[in-house]
Chains A and B, each alone.
Chain A
Amino acid sequence: MPRRIEARGRVQRSAIGAAVVLFAGALSACGSTSSSGSTTASKPFTVNWAVNITSLDPAFTCPGDENSFASNFYGRLVKLSTNETSPGITQIDPDPSKVQPDFATKWDVSDEGKTYTFTLQSGKKFDNGDPLDAAAVKYSLDRTLKIGACGALSLQLGITQPPLITSVEAPNATTVVIHMRQAYPALLYSLAQSRGSIYNPKEIEAHGGVQANSPNQWLQSHTASSSGPYVLSEYVPGNHAVLTRNPNYYGTPALEPTVRVNFVTAVPTLQVQAQNREADVTLGLPPQVVKNLSTQACCKVITADSPTPVTVSMNYQGELTNNAKFREALTYAVPYTDIINKVAYGYGDSYYGPIVPGMAGYKASLEPARTYDLGKAKQLMAESGVNSPTLNLMINPTAPGVSDIATLLQSAWQQIGVTVNIDAKPPADFTTLFNQGKYQSALLFENSTPIGGYELRKKLTCDAPTNNQHICIPGTMPLLDQLNNTADPAAQQPIVDSLVQKWLENSPTIILYRAKFTAVVSPDVKHFAYAPNFRLADWGR
C-alpha cells in the first residue's frame, strides 16, 4: 500500500495547535487575575507616581518632586510640625516658629539670632553602619553650599549674594554650629526640608566627592547611604524604586517595611491600577481622572492646599507685556470659575497675589480673588492704548491640562480683542527659554515654597537669576533689603504687605487658580500625610 503524506490534515492540525496555544494564554490570564487580588498582605505598599525622577540628590536638583522623593532617604536636624486634618490624615504647618526637633534634640539661638547651636542624638548610624554625627552634618551642609544652584539657593532661602550661611562647625560629635551673616529664623524651615539632608561623607567621597557648581553623577541614581526612614534597595530610573525600612533610623520607624514606588507617566496605567487597587497611593493624576475615581469604590481622594498656583507669567520687560494696564486687563478676562470647574474639575481655588494662601505672610484681605469682568477688562484695554494686540503664549503641552487651559485663554482673550498665539515648546526648550526670560508670556504650573518672604525675594528682586519674569518695580529693592534684614516674622509682615501691594498694582502675573494637591488612595490606606516633601514613612495601611 503506498504511503501517503497527509498534508491537509497537517494544515488543520497546526491551525488547531495555534488556537490551543492562544486559548491556553487566555486561560492562564484568567487564572492569575484571580490570584493577584488575594496577596495584598505580602504586597509592598505601592505608590504610583506620575513623575520622571532625574536625580536623587537634593543638594543639586531643583524640581519639587525629586526633592520630595529623595528626602525620604535622609534625616534632618529638624522637622516641620503637622496638624491632623481628619483621622489619619495630616498636613504640615509651614510656620518656622513651630519647627520640631528631629536628629537634633534641641538648639540654641544666639542673642543676635546669627548663630544656631544644635545638639544631636548620639551614637546614631547610617544604614550601612557608618557613624551619623556632627561631622556628617557639617559635611552635608558644606556640600550643598558648595554645589550651588538650587540646593544652596533653597537652603539659604534665596539669600546667596553674599551667602546667608557663613560657616558650619562641628566642635564635637554631637554639636553642630551654624553661623549666619544675619539673623533669619526661616532657616529652620529650610533645614527641615530636603536641602537640610544629612549624607554619608564616606559614600560621597568614594564616588566622586564634591565639586563646585557641578552635580555628582553617581548620586543622581544612588543615595549616600541612608540617614532617613527608608533605604533605597532597588532603583530603576524612570521605572520604579523599592524602599525598605532603615533599621538604623534614629527617629520613629517607617510605617511600612517595604514601599514600592512606580514612576508611571501614562495616565491610563495609573487609572487602571488605581481602579484595580494595585496601587495604594496614586500621585499626579490629572484632575478629570481624580474626579472620575472619586466616585468609585476603589478609591478615596485626599486633597490638600498646596502652594502650587497655575499662572501665566508675563515678561515684565517684553514688548506689549510691559504694559501694566494690558496685563491687568487680561486678569479680568479670565473665566476663573469655568477653568476651575471644567479644567481643574473643582480641584482648585482662586486668589490673586504673589503669596499663595496658607503661606507664611499671606493676608486674605490683601489678595482677594479676581472676578471675571469683561466690561472692566475692555475698559482697561482701552486705557492701555494697545490696539488689537497679538500675545505669544508659550506652553509646554506635555504637562497635563496645559494645552486645554491655553486653548480656553485663547477663546477668552479673543473677546477683549487679544489674539493669542499658542507657542508649544518641548519641555527642554520651554525650561531654557523661560529661565532665560526669552518669552512674551508663558503658562506654567508653579511650585513655590510656603515661605512668603522667600517667594517675594525670588520673584521681585531686579536682575536676580530667579526672577525669570524680569520684574523690576520701582521702590521694591529697598523694601526687599529691609525684608532681608528683618528676622522676626511679625516685623516682616508690614514689609511683605507693601511688597504685595506693589505687586498687585503692577499685575505682573495672571493667576488662573491654585491647583489642589490630590492623592488617590485605596481604602486600605489608614495613614496619609501631606507635606511639600512627601514623607512616605508616615504613609501606611
Chain B
Amino acid sequence: MLNLILKRFGVAAATILGASLFSFFLLRKLPGDPARLVGGELADEQTITSLRQAMGLDSPLQEQFWNYITSSFHGDLGFSYTIGQPVSELVRTRLPATVELGLTGVATAVVLATVFAAIAVYRKKKGADVSLRIASSLAMGSPPFWLALVAILLLSVNLGIFPGPEGRLSPSLLPPPTITGLYTVDSILSGQFGTFFDALRHLILPALTIAVGPFAFLSRLFRSQLRNTMREPFIVVARSRGLLRGSVFLRHAVPNSLLSLVAATAMLLAETMTGSVLVEKVFGWPGVGSLTVDAILQKDFAVVQGVILLSATLYVTVSFLADVVYVVVDPRIRAGAK
C-alpha cells in the first residue's frame, strides 16, 4: 500500500514537473521582451538592462527554470509586473472566487444531472428521456459565454431578477471577513445574512452558466450508467425480494451509478476551476480565469506560469482525491486498499 502511494505521488510530481517544464519553455520562447513591457514606453536601454537583471531574465534558461522550481517550493511564484503584486498573493486573493464559482457550478450540475437523469430513466414513458436528451444535447452545444450574455440581457437587464455582471458582491457592500474566502460561506459564518443573500444572488447566474457544460456531460453519463445498472442482475434480484421498482431504483440503482460520477465530477471540477475563464470574463468575476486572460495578453510570465502550476497541481490533487473518495465509498476498493 505504501508503495502504491509513493508511486502515485511520484507520478503526480512528474506530471506537475512536466506541466511546468512544458509551459516554462513554451512561454520563454516569446518574441516580446517582458523587461521592455515593465519599463514602459519611455524606458531607455539602461533601464531595460537593469530590469532584465532584476527580473532574472539575463541568466541562462535552464538556470531560470531551476530558480523557478526551487523558489516555487518556498511558495514564491514570482512577481507580476502587470498587476504589481507577488503571484502567490494574487492566487491567494483570486482563487477563493474561482473555487466558490466552480464548486457551486459543478455541484449544481451534479444535482440537476442526477435528478433529471434519474427521472428520465425511472419514468417508463419516453417523453422524459427524450426531453433530457434534447436538453443535454443543447447544453453540450451552447457556447457558455454566449449563453451568459443572453442570460444577462434577459434576466438581469430586462427583468432585473439578478444583478448585472458585477462580480461577487454589490459594490456597495463590503466583503465578509475572510474565513474560507468563499463569500457565501463566510457571510453565514459571520452572521451577515444580507451579505449572504447578495453574494448568493451574484453567484446564481454565473454558477448556472458554469453548470451547463458539466450538466450535459454528467446527465448523459449518469443516464447511461443508470440504464446499465438497471440491467444488472442484482437489480432484478432485489425486485425479486419484493422491493418496489422505486425502492430498488433509489436504494440500489442510484447509489451504484453515482459511483461512476465521482471521477468525472472530479475532473470537471478541476477543469472548471481553471477553465472558467469565459464565464468569469463575462460576469466580471474576479477569479483566476480572468486573471489568466489578462496575463496572457500582457505576456505576464510569472502569472501564467503560476496559473499553469496551480492548474496542474489542482488536476493531480483532484484526481487523487477522487481515488480517495472511491476508497471511502466503494467497499470493494476499500477492501483492496487495506
A residues lining the B interface (CB < 8 Å):
2, 4-8, 10-11, 14-15, 18, 25-26, 28-33, 35-36, 39, 43-44, 46, 48, 52-56, 60-63, 148-150, 153-154, 211-215, 217, 220-221, 236-240, 260, 262, 264, 266, 268-269, 272-273, 275-276, 278-279, 398, 426-429, 431-436, 465-466, 468
Contact = CB atoms under 8 A, between A and B. Distances in A.
Contacts of A217: 79, 84, 86
Contact of A214 (B50, B164, B198, B245): B50
Given A148-B44, A149-B42, A149-B47, A29 B201 contact: yes
Interface stretch (B6-14, B221-229, B278-286, B324-332): B278-286
A428 B299 contact: yes
Given A32-B197, A427-B298, A273 B172 contact: no
Which of B44, B90, B118 has the most C-beta atoms of chain A within 10 angstroms of its own C-beta? B44
Contacts of B298: 426-428
A148 B54 CA distance: 15
B243 interface: yes
Which of A26, A53, A237, A431 has the most C-beta atoms of chain B within 10 angstroms of its own C-beta? A237
20 contacts: A5-B251, A10-B250, A15-B115, A25-B201, A30-B161, A36-B198, A48-B171, A52-B294, A54-B82, A54-B84, A150-B41, A213-B46, A264-B166, A268-B165, A275-B157, A276-B164, A278-B172, A426-B298, A431-B41, A466-B41
Contacts of B243: 5
B152 A268 contact: yes
Contacts of A18: 111-112, 115
Contacts of B50: 211-214
A399 to B, nearest CB: 11
A182 B122 CA distance: 90
Contacts of B111: 18
B43 A36 contact: no
A28 B197 contact: yes
A60 B85 CA distance: 15
Contacts of A55: 84
A269 B151 CA distance: 13
A118 B197 CA distance: 55
A429 B32 contact: yes
Which secondary structure dominates chain B's binding surface? Answer: helix
B162 A29 contact: yes
Contact of B249 (A7, A153, A211, A436): A7
A7 B246 contact: yes
B46 to A, nearest CB: 6
Given A33-B161, A279-B171, A426-B298, 4 more contacts: A215-B51, A262-B171, A428-B37, A434-B41
B119 interface: yes
Which of A268, A273, A431 has the most C-beta atoms of chain B within 10 angstroms of its own C-beta? A268
Interface in B97-155: 111-112, 115, 118-119, 122, 149, 152
B186 to A, nearest CB: 16
Interface of B: 31-34, 36-47, 49-51, 54, 79, 81-86, 90, 93, 111-112, 115, 118-119, 122, 149, 152, 156-157, 160-167, 170-172, 194, 197-198, 200-201, 204, 242-251, 281-282, 284, 286, 291, 294, 296-299
A148 B46 contact: yes
A268 B164 contact: yes
A214 B115 contact: no
Contacts of B39: 149
Contacts of A272: 152, 156-157, 164-166
A239 B172 CA distance: 14
Nearest to B149: A268
Contacts of A260: 171
Contacts of B54: 211, 214
Contact of B36 (A28, A60, A61, A435): A435
A48 B47 CA distance: 33
Contacts of A150: 40-43
Contacts of A211: 50, 54
A31 B193 CA distance: 13
Given A6-B246, A11-B246, A29-B162, A428 B297 contact: yes
Given A5-B244, A266-B281, A427-B298, A28 B47 contact: no
A466 B152 CA distance: 44
Given A11-B246, A432-B36, A398 B198 contact: no
A151 B32 CA distance: 23
Nearest to A39: B172
Which of B31, B45, B248 has the most C-beta atoms of chain A within 10 angstroms of its own C-beta? B31
B330 to A, nearest CB: 23
B47 A148 contact: yes
Nearest to B31: A429
A28 B201 contact: yes
A462 B197 CA distance: 61
Nearest to A236: B93
